[in-house]
Homo-oligomer: A and B are copies of this chain.
Amino acid sequence: MTVTRVSFENDYNAGCHPDLLKALVETNTVQTTGYGLDPYSDEARALIKSACGVPGADVHFFVGGTQANLTVIAGLLKTWQGVLSADTGHINTHEAGAIEATGHKVLVVPSHDGLLSADAIDLVCRAYAEDPTAEHMVQSGMIYLSHPTELGTIYKKSELVAIRKVADRWNLSIYIDGARLASALTAKGADLDLASIAKLSDVFSIGGTKCGALFGEAVVINKESLKQDFRSLIKQRGGLLAKGRLIGLQFVELFRDGLYYEIGKHANSMAMALAEEFRAHQIEFFVPPVSNQLFVILNEDEAARFGERAVFEQITPFENGRGVFRFVTSYATRREQIDTLFS
């Protein structure tokens, strides 16, 4: 239903950033060829490659994240391989079995606050390698990371460097799901920039949907073997948008003058302001607040009181009167909305 209360439900509850809307309106009558072969998409690809410092990369656009994930993973894995993921990973929990539907097992690795560690990955790979029955088991072919994670945490550069090392040891590709990458790149203390991410991964996505766009995820491919015929793979999985320029156009706006970072910064600053209020009200965090998703522990009274003023998601059921709740900020969040929540 339409939200009359303030919404912290998620970062995709409105249309898009006004700049992107303006661009869509202004180009509405221009005629271009379809399927992302238009000049807007070309420009967006050039801007993204430049921002990432990878002139030789391929960039493709998807409407949504699950589609991007399933297509990239199906493309990277050999038919008998599986993908390593945090137990909390989006592909393991909230994509309705999309990866398995492409024929691949999600191999769960224990995580901490949504983060995978190089050691945890190494342990799983070593156990497989040393198991005399390994050929009856699913071999890992790649690592799936999200940055920020589903719990809003982010990787440090040193952590990703360590994971890369483990990946190389075990001959694994790394794919980073950047559905909320703008927020991770601009979080306080973040030391992973686009260039590092591009260098340390084989493939990664730059999320638009949750970072100010109507929709759209850019996938940056550095791995040579995945480049060839990738558009056929996108088409096969139903992901080639007829009016592909709509995504290209939005990414042009996001990357021409740094709007993508501005959006991330704004969402983060609103999240930090919100976190400060939570702290001031003695609300405990389930996960330390870092990016634009906050996870707090509320008792039933608190949840009810906030619920009168705002929409947000309950993550775990009440246990002993307390549950985990998520509050999300975006380009559209305004300081007054936070004040309303605590009014």
- Please encode chain A, from 103 to 134, with 1 for each CB lying within 8 Å of some chain B CB and 0 for all others: 11110000000000000000000000010110
Stretch at the interface among A44-52, A70-78, A196-204: A70-78
Q: Which residues of B contact A229 (CB under 8 A)?
A: 78, 80, 135, 139
**Residue among B96, B133, B209, B311 making CB contact with A236, cutoff 8 Å:** B96
- Please encode chain A, from 1 to 12, with 1 for each CB lying within 8 Å of some chain B CB and 0 for all others: 111000101101
Q: Which residues of B contact A136 (CB under 8 A)?
A: 94-96, 232, 235, 240
Which partner residue on chain B sits nearest A141 by CB separation?
Answer: B229
Which partner residue on chain B sits nearest A82 by CB separation?
Answer: B97
From 55 to 112 in chain A, residues with beta carbon under 8 angstroms from any chain B beta carbon are 63-67, 69-71, 74-75, 78-80, 82, 93-98, 100-106
The verdict on A243 contacting B12 (CB below 8 Å), with A25-B25, A95-B236, A103-B100 known, is yes
From 16 to 51 in chain A, residues with beta carbon under 8 angstroms from any chain B beta carbon are 16, 18, 21, 24-25, 27-34, 38-39
Instruction: Flag whether A321 is at the interface (Cβ < 8 A).
Output: no
CB distance from A32 to the nearest CB of B (A): 6
Q: Which residues of B contact A103 (CB under 8 A)?
A: 97, 100-103
The verdict on A101 contacting B237 (CB below 8 Å), with A21-B28, A96-B138 known, is yes
Which partner residue on chain B sits nearest A34 by CB separation?
Answer: B12
**Residue among B3, B29, B31, B94 making CB contact with A133, cutoff 8 Å:** B94
Instruction: Flag whether A273 is at the interface (Cβ < 8 A).
Output: no
The verdict on A2 contacting B32 (CB below 8 Å), with A82-B97, A97-B80, A242-B64 known, is yes
Q: Interface residue count for A (Cβ, 8 Å)?
A: 83
Q: Which residues of B contact A7 (CB under 8 A)?
A: 31
Q: Are the C-beta atoms of B100 and A100 separated by less than 8 Å?
A: yes
Q: A24-B24, A66-B238, A96-B135 are in contact. List 19 more A-B contacts (CB 8 A).
A: A2-B38, A9-B31, A15-B24, A15-B243, A15-B246, A16-B28, A63-B64, A69-B238, A82-B100, A97-B104, A100-B104, A100-B105, A101-B236, A102-B103, A135-B231, A136-B232, A138-B232, A138-B236, A214-B243
